[in-house]
Structure 1
Amino acid sequence: MRKPTGLERLYVDFDSFFASAEQHLQPHLRGRPVGVIPVDSEHTGLIAVSREAKALGIKRGAFVRDARKACPGLVLVTARHEVYVELHRAIVETIETVLPVKAVCSIDEMVCALLPSEGARAIEIGRQVKEVIASRIGPTLTCSVGLGPNDLLAKIAAEMEKPDGLVALHPADLPGRLLSLELTDIPGIARGNAARLARAGIGDMAALWSLQPKELRRLWGSVEGERLWMGLHGYTVERPETRRRMFGHGRVLPADWRSLNGAYAAARVLLAKASARMRRAGFAARALALWLTDRNSAGWYGEERFQPTWDDPSLLASLSRLFLHAEREDMRRSRSVHVTLHDLVPMAEIEADLFGYTPEAQLKRRMEYLSVLADRLNASHRRTLLHWGPQVSIPGGYAGAKIAFNRIPDAEDF
């Protein structure tokens, strides 16, 4: 485990990215309180708010009706994920005119590695990054830059003086400003973990800092606690490469779609999106899971397992059987629907059955070929031209191509 003596990471974190992106792209929104919603519906929450809205007390996650009461002048904009992805790519290219991007952490967060010669002038480089974004992208999209000896401390530094901040946490000054933070200001410490630490008598950063790494590992219940300790104390932390575990999509359903038939129609669309992503990544699935939830987050769960499969007709047939089970078990209404393809197998590892040339096996191979062909045609035309069964459009916006914290959709997802 290495402990750097200087600044080796530069972290870029954009301020209120979705809302700022809309103000950047729509000049008439600048200076106005803006809230971004996931779908065009009054029965949803805000996924981003502009600085102006934050100043009026509007927070991300607030329900639309509550936000309107608190701020009658709030402008609501439906998220445009494909536009944000294009803007993200332009931002990455812009940052790389100053120094290479080591990793994209999310749609609005990137980390860069600094060479030893660059670490000595890290503050100057941080200013250059902010200036080049302002000049090439535009001044509306501001970012906060953090500098530190590792990814974690650089990210923490970027959060310290938002918006439009520039902070360095030098290893020689630790713990320094870290002691003024709340435990939940540290990435990885959510309310649940903070409560667990509090029960062990760890209520502030000074107490956390004084722990030994093995103690934090025990309190955490996993090696992640020890990794957190190492990161906070300025060590480099190498994480094992993760393997893809699943492909899935979910949707909160519009009010008039909250029947079993509406949930089934939406689930077919979501499954088609997920299976196309899975094929592009070169995987087949051995299981399909379906969640139907009510307004209290209770509901119905079902799963079907099968031989490695990637063709749409087989997966849609499995989905149909799951909904028949839900109907038999008297699941009549659903507020949201989620489908997941999991227990993945790389296609390259699937061996052909030398004795499997039955009519059924030949039909399945044709369906696999046609599914891939449909993917290519739809991707080349940037819209759904070929699909299996009836094609429906779910009211309220996107069916599957949404930006998640750790996933940026490909152009083919839209």
Structure 2
Amino acid sequence: MRKPTGLERLYVDFDSFFASAEQHLQPGLRGRPVGVIPVDSEHTGLIAVSREAKAQGLKRGTFVRDARRQCPGLVLVTARHEAYVELHRQILDAIETVLPVRAVCSIDEMVCALMPSEWPQGLVIGQRVKDVIAATIGPTLTCSVGLGPNDLLAKIAAEMKKPDGLMALHPDDLPGPLLSLELTDIPGIARGNAARLARAGISNMAALLRLQPKELRQLWGSVEGERMWMGLHGYTVERPETRRRMFGHGRVLPADWRSLNGAYAAARVLLAKASARMRRAGFAAKALALWLTDRNSAGWYGEERFQPTWDDPSLLASLSHLFLHAEREDMRRSRSVHVALHDLVPLSDIEGDLFDHAPEAQLKRRMESLSAIADHFNVRHRKTLLHWGPWVTIPGGYAGAKIAFNRIPDAEDF
């Protein structure tokens, strides 16, 4: 366990990224309250709000009907994920003219490592990062930059000066600047965790920092509590390399799709997108899971297991079997549908028998080859032109290509 003595990390965190991106891409929106929505519907919530909208009290998650009432001048824009991903790539290129990006944490957050010779100039380098983004991308898309001895403290520093801020949390100054923060200002402490801490008598940062590592681990119920203790006290936090466990997609269904047939049509598209991602990453799956949920968040779960498989026809056949089970068990209406390919096996570990001339083996090899050809053709034309069976356009688009906190879609996903 190592305790850095300088500003080893520089964290870049963009302000209201989706909304600011739209203001950057559409100059007519600048200076106006903007809300970004996932689909063009009055029954959805805002996934991002601009600074002008935040100044009027709007928050992410506010329903459209409430947002219109609260902010009559609000401009609603439907999310354009491919535009945000392209902007993200331009931002990475701009930052790397100053220093290398060590890790991409999300679409609008990235962390860089500073060498010991750069520690004394950390704030100067942070300002250079902000300046190059403004010069290369434009002044509308602002970011906050934080510096600290580790990733967590650098991120906290960036959050403390939002929007458009620059701040350092030097090891010699700790814990002083942290004591004024609310527990929920700390990444990883949401309202649920804060309530759990409160039940244990921990209601402020001073009480949290007095805990011992094992105590915080016990309160968290996992090693993440101990890692948080280490991060808050300025130690480096080494995380084991994560191993890919699944490829999956889900979708809340439009009102007129909330039947078993509608869920099946959507699930076919989501599965095809997930299997294409899986093939690009070099994996096969040994299981397919399906979740169907109703408006009360209850629902149905099914799973089918098989030999390592990565071709679309075989996976779609398994999906059909699962929906037959759902129909028999009277799962008639679904508010959302989720599919996941899991129990993954690297393709390099699968030993095929090229001399197996059984009809089933030959058919499987043929379907695998055709799936790879379809992937190549669709990527080349940036559109799903080759597919197996019916193909539908799910309202809201971006099947398999939505930005998630821990996933940035590849260009091939669009």
- Normalised to the residue count of structure 2, the TM-score between the two structures is 0.98
Aligned equivalents of 1:154, 1:228: Cα separation in 2: 13
Within 2, Cα distance between the matches of 1:313 and 1:63?
40
Q: Which residue of 1 aligns with 2:194?
A: 194
1:138-217 equivalences under 5 Å are: 138-217=138-217
Identity among equivalent positions (%) equals: 87
**Does residue 77 of the first structure (1) align with residue 77 of the second (2)?**
yes
* Aligned counterparts of 2:296 and 2:33: Cα–Cα separation in 1: 31
Aligned to 1:304: 304
The answer on whether the counterparts of 1:39 and 1:398 sit within 8 Å (CA) in structure 2 is no
Q: Which residue of 1 aligns with 2:372?
A: 372
Q: Distance in 2 between matches of 1:335 and 1:398?
A: 18
Distance in 2, Cα, partners of 1:183 & 1:353? 58
Which is further off, 212-221 or 157-166?
Answer: 212-221
Q: Aligned partners of 1:52 and 1:354: how far apart in 2?
A: 63
Q: Which amino acid aligns with 1:170?
A: H
CA apart distance, 1:195: 1.8
Deviation, 1:191, is 2.0
Q: Deviations over 1:384-405 (max 9, x none)?
A: 1100001211122221201111
The aligned counterpart of 1:120 is 120
How far apart, in 1, do the equivalents of 2:376 and 2:80 lie? 23
Give the distance between the partners of 1:354 and 1:32, measured in 2 at CA: 63
How far does residue 363 in structure 1 lie from its aligned partner after superposition? 0.2
Corresponding residue number in structure 2 for 1:390? 390
State how far apart, in whole Å, the 1-side matches of 2:271 and 2:40 are. 22
**Conserved? CA contact 1:101–1:113, under 8 Å:** yes
The 10-residue stretch of structure 1 (193-202 or 96-105) with the greater mean CA deviation from structure 2: 193-202
1:41 and 1:396 in contact (8 A); partners too: no
Aligned mates of 1:213, 1:313 — CA distance in 2: 50
Matched, 1:283 2:283: yes
Q: Counterpart in 1 of 2:21?
A: 21
Q: Aligned with 1:215: secondary structure? A: helix
Q: Check if 1:295 corresponds to 2:310.
A: no
Task: Give the deviation of 1:328 after TM superposition.
Answer: 0.8
Q: How does 1:20-99 map to 2 (within 5 A)?
A: 20-99=20-99
CA distance in 2, matches of 1:397, 1:31: 28
2 CA distance for matches of 1:145 and 1:89? 18
Kindly provide the amino acid, as one letter, of the partner of residue 202 in structure 2: I
Number of matched pairs: 414
Give, in whole Å, the separation in 2 of the partners of 1:329 and 1:118: 63
Q: Which amino acid aligns with 1:273?
A: K
Kindly provide the CA deviation profile for residues 260-305 of structure 1, in whole angstroms up to 9, marking residues without a partner as x.
1111101101000000000000011111111111112111111111
Report the Cα offset of residue 45 of structure 1.
1.1
Decide whether the 8 Å contact of 1:40 with 1:397 is kept in 2: no
How far 1:354 moved relative to its partner?
Answer: 7.3
Alignment partner of 1:351 is 2:351: yes
CA distance in 1, matches of 2:302, 2:96: 46
Instruction: Provide the rounded CA distance (Å) in 1 between the counterparts of 2:363 and 2:263.
Output: 29
The letter of the residue matching 1:330 is D
Whole-Å separation in 1 of the counterparts to 2:171 and 2:293: 47
Matched, 1:134 2:126: no
Alignment match, 2:339: 339
Secondary structure of 2:58 counterpart: coil
Tell me how far apart the structure 1 counterparts of residues 36 and 219 of structure 2 sit (CA, whole Å).
38
Matched position secondary structure for 1:121: helix
Letter in 2 for 1:237: V
Q: Which amino acid aligns with 1:238?
A: E
SS of alignment partner, residue 146 of structure 1: strand
State the distance in 1 between where 2:306 and 2:194 align. Answer: 41
Summarize deviations over 1:13-71 as a string: whole Å, max 9, x none: 00000000000000001111111111222221111010111111111011111111211
Match of 1:227 in 2: 227
Cα deviation for residue 353 of structure 1 reads 4.5
Decide which moves more: 214-223 or 247-256. Answer: 214-223
**TM-superposed deviation, 1:257:** 0.8
By how many angstroms is 1:350 displaced? 1.1
Whether 1:266 aligns to 2:266 is: yes
2:102 corresponding residue in structure 1: 102
Deviations 1:217-255 (A, max 9, x none): 122222111111111000111110010011111111111
C-alpha RMSD of the superposition:
1.1
Q: Residue 4 in 1 paired to residue 4 in 2? A: yes
Kindly provide the amino acid, as one letter, of the partner of residue 263 in structure 1: A
Unaligned runs of 5+ in 2: none
Within 1, Cα distance between the matches of 2:351 and 2:181? 54
CA shift digits 1:69-90 (9 cap, x unpaired): 2112211111111111110000
Q: TM-score, normalised by structure 1?
A: 0.98
Q: Tell me the SS of whatever aligns to 1:368.
A: helix
Deviation of the 1:332 alpha carbon: 1.0
- Name segments (4+ residues, structure 1) moved above 6 Å: none
Looking at structure 1, the residues matched to 343 and 195 of structure 2 have their Cα atoms a distance apart, in angstroms, of 33
